[in-house]
Amino acid sequence: MSRRKSLAVIVAGLLAVTSLLEGCSQANLTDPREILNKVDNSITNLQSVHFHLEAGGQFAVGVEASAADTPVPSDTPSTEPSASTEASASASTSAAASGSAGASVSPSPSPSPTPEPTASPSPSEAASPTATPTPVYTAVPVSLAGTVADGDIDFGKGTAHVIGGMPGLPGVSGELLVVEPYAYFRGYGETRFHEQGSSELAVDPALSSQSLYIVQQVVAAASDKSLSPVLVGTEQEPGGSCYHIRVSVTQSALSAQLANLGAVQNQGTGQLDLWITQNDFQLERLEFSTADPAAGTAIIRLVLSNWNRVGIISGPAPNQVVTPAPVASN
């Protein structure tokens, strides 16, 4: 009797496990848009993460043109007469008046009417607002060969530690530490950091509104209504079982999401692959490749891990920071 009971318990347990596994498999999502919506929520709530970035080929990057490089139309009429114009007009008026006086004589000049006072415009009416010109960007091809970076970012604490760089852009390779509101950078071969305000960085990795925002917008572009994302299947990644979604993205879909990032232009069309963990919908890996002539032939790969489990990131020791030279007083 005891053996039968034990066997019955084992069989019941196996059936329970089987039904549980069947329930899990049935819970797997099949709609790629639903998966993309869930990963967007997980990115929004991300507090810290480790990342690995690598790229190759070349990419077109928009460089803002200076105001001096912006052409000014020469046929714009002047709103105020110049001094020479006023002098010519005055001389013409005087000549016309004297010519009229010599040609005819009025028997009795009639008194000229008293001009009515004219209200002078207020300062706000007289001064026209100065129009702010729209930034103009010039597409510049940048080599991505050898681009690689690794780092930890804690958005909640406003800290980041990044090592790597982009050889195609001089001066952006080395080690970067961010402890808001300060940033510390040292290039390869340097032993000490240079301090500056984190607000001076082109992209502050410690701010979710900047670095994480770019990733979030690329994921949002994948779910654009004009596109057709496809669920390739489920695949094993270092972070576990993942949904693999593939979508052919267009220039218009990318521009709609990255419109306020003026420096990111001419993205062109390309293929976007996303790997998203099944258990908590974290973005495991992102790959974007393009061969569009407008953007250049390039591939960018971003791998994320240690979601919300990044350790403490501290700034450099004082003796590792270059002390700025004192400013001479007059």
Q: Could you tell me the residue ranges of all domains in the chain?
A: 30-65+136-320
> Is the pLDDT reported for residue 137 higher than 60?
no
- Could you say which of 3.20.20.30, 2.50.20.20, 3.40.1500.10, 2.40.110.10 is the CATH number of the domain covering 30-65+136-320? 2.50.20.20
**What tens digit of pLDDT does each residue of 93-128 get?**
444 444 444 444 444 444 555 555 555 444 444 445
Amino acid 23: pLDDT? 44
So what's the pLDDT on residue 54?
97
Q: For 187-210, what is each residue's pLDDT tens digit? A: 999 999 999 999 999 899 999 999
| Rounded Cα gap, residues 162 and 153, in angstroms | 8
Distances (CA, A) of 168 to 172, 193, 301: 9, 22, 17
Burial 118-143 (b: 16+ CB within 10 A, else e): eeeeeeeeeeeeeeeeeeebeeeebb
Which tokens sit at 69? Answer: 């490089």
Map residue 326 onto helix, strand or coil: coil
Could you tell me the CA-to-CA distances from 173 to 132, 150, 163, 191, 249 in Å, in that order? 35, 12, 8, 14, 30
The pLDDT, as a whole number, for residue 24 is 46
pLDDT tens per residue across span 213-258: 999 999 999 999 999 999 999 999 999 999 999 999 887 787 777 7
Comparing 8-22, 165-179, 282-296, 309-323, which segment has the lowest mean pLDDT?
8-22
What does the alpha-carbon distance between residue 55 and residue 61 come to, in Å, rounded to a whole number?
14
Per-residue pLDDT averaged across 30-57, rounded?
Answer: 95
Cα separation of 185 and 205, whole Å?
13
Residue 30: the pLDDT is 94
